């Protein structure tokens, strides 16, 4: 029974990847269990300059999920390279996925140029779909022209596998996916969070200081699954499925829809052992559905 997959030319021992925004730089989870059991993890969304993020409150609970408007709080790329990457090397010995977000084309290019020389980084996961920041993020992910321009510019400055993280908050995700592929993307992550809101009945104001936030958790799994299924038919590059994955059966569904690898996000915030538990239960789930090799089921629902 084999759980190994190949993502953009880099082998993974299993398809489970800790999702950016929920896995930090891995340190907190490494204190609980050996995170080398993961296929990989995508580290905290990183920008060119340090960011304190959005004002609080910036997290709100909702049925079957949560809203977040953290706003890419991070120490900036230079400190990530000088401080975080050396620390990660002490507890994780597999290729990392580096998640980056910019507020301009030039920022995306500078970020990826800096990371191109980092041997720990296996893949660049370029976030053009964050709904919680103004003047960047999702602005690039809702237009084919903008998404194509970002992909094309980054492709010129890096030889690392380039994975573009797409927004579900669009009319036609397949058109944007095709454009990214045509401009040199090696893979796509889908989906990022859906825009959402909660109101406080006592104050009659939004619960989140940012007013809106990104909805994640089990509530969005069917949406993510449908978009993976839809995009798989539209492109030839590998997909990373993300959105509401919380068990081994969800991983299998995502792979049948067309995902080569699967990110686990909000489930980590509910159960910090979620990734480990999913990986450990994968063989049993595979046996239950008579699956011998995970690579053979990718896109199997088509």
Domain extents in the chain: 5-54+73-194+217-297
Q: How many Cβ atoms are within 10 Å of 110's Cβ, its own excluded?
A: 16
For the chain, percent helix, then strand, then coil, each to nearest 5? 35, 20, 45
286-294 LR contacts (CB < 8 Å, sep 24+): 286/1, 286/3, 286/252, 287/1, 289/252, 291/1, 291/252, 292/1, 292/2, 293/1, 293/2, 294/2, 294/3, 294/4, 294/5, 294/14, 294/15, 294/255
**pLDDT at residue 129 in the model:** 66
Burial of 116 (0-12, 13-18, 19+ CB in 10 A): middle
pLDDT at position 271 is 97
At residue 284's C-alpha, the angle toward residues 280 and 288, to 5°, is 155
Instruction: Of 197, 137, 145, 196, give the one whose Cα is nearest residue 167.
Output: 137
Q: How do strand 59-62 and strand 65-68 relate by DSSP bridges?
A: antiparallel
- φ/ψ of 39, rounded to 5, equals -65, -45
Amino acid 134: pLDDT: 46
- Residue identified by tokens 């269990």 is 33
Question: By three-state DSSP, how is residue 176 classified?
Answer: helix
The C-alpha atoms of residue 16 and residue 301 are separated, in whole angstroms, by 20
Query: Could you list the active site residues?
Result: 130
Instruction: Dihedral sign for Cα 178, 144, 158, 111, please.
Output: negative
3-state secondary structure of 278: helix
CA atoms lying within 13 Å on the CB side of residue 233? 9
In tens digits, the chain (302 residues) has pLDDT values of: 899 999 999 999 999 999 998 999 999 999 999 999 999 999 999 999 999 878 888 899 888 899 988 888 899 999 999 999 999 999 999 999 999 999 889 999 999 999 999 999 999 999 996 544 444 444 566 788 889 999 999 999 999 999 999 999 898 999 999 999 999 999 999 999 999 999 999 999 999 998 988 999 999 999 999 999 999 999 999 999 999 999 999 999 999 999 999 999 999 999 999 999 999 999 999 999 999 999 999 999 99
Say how far apart CA 124 and CA 92 lie, in whole Å: 17
The residue behind tokens 């660049």 is: 124
Q: Strands 65-68 and 205-206, how do they pair?
A: unpaired
d(CA 218, CA 243): 7
**Which helix (DSSP H) or strand (DSSP E) does residue 5 occupy?**
strand 5-7
5-54+73-194+217-297 topology per CATH? TIM Barrel (3.20.20)
pLDDT of residue 131: 46
pTM of the model: 0.94
Distance of CA 162 to the CA centre of its chain: 13
**Which residues are bridge partners to 159 per DSSP?**
none
Total residue length of the chain: 302
């Amino acid at each position: 029974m084999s759980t190994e997959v190949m993502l953009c030319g880099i082998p993974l021992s299993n398809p489970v990847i800790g999702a950016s925004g929920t896995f930090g730089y891995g340190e907190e989870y490494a204190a609980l269990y050996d995170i080398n059991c993961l296929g990989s993890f995508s580290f905290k969304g990183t920008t060119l300059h340090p960011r304190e993020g959005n004002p609080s409150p910036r997290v709100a609970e909702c049925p079957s999920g949560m809203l977040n408007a953290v706003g890419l709080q991070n120490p900036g790329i230079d400190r990530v390279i000088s401080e975080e990457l050396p620390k990660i090397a002490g507890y994780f010995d597999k290729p990392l996925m580096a998640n980056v977000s910019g507020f301009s084309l030039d920022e995306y290019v500078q970020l990826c140029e800096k990371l191109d020389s980092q041997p720990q980084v296996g893949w660049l996961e370029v976030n053009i779909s964050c709904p919680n920041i103004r003047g960047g993020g999702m602005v690039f992910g809702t237009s084919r022209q903008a998404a194509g321009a970002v992909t094309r510019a980054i492709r010129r400055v890096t030889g690392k596998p380039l994975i573009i993280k797409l927004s579900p908050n669009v009319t036609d995700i397949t058109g944007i996916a095709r454009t990214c592929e045509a401009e040199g993307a090696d893979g796509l992550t889908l989906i990022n969070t859906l825009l959402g809101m909660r109101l406080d009945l006592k104050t009659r104001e939004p619960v989140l200081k940012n007013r809106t936030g990104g909805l994640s958790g089990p509530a969005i799994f069917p949406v993510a699954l449908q978009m993976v299924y839809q995009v798989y038919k539209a492109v030839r590059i590998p997909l990373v499925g993300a959105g509401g994955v919380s068990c081994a059966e969800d991983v299998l569904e995502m792979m049948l829809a067309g995902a080569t690898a699967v990110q686990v996000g909000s489930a980590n915030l509910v159960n910090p052992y979620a990734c480990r538990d999913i990986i450990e239960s994968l063989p049993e789930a595979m046996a239950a559905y008579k699956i011998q090799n995970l690579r053979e089921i990718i896109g199997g629902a088509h």
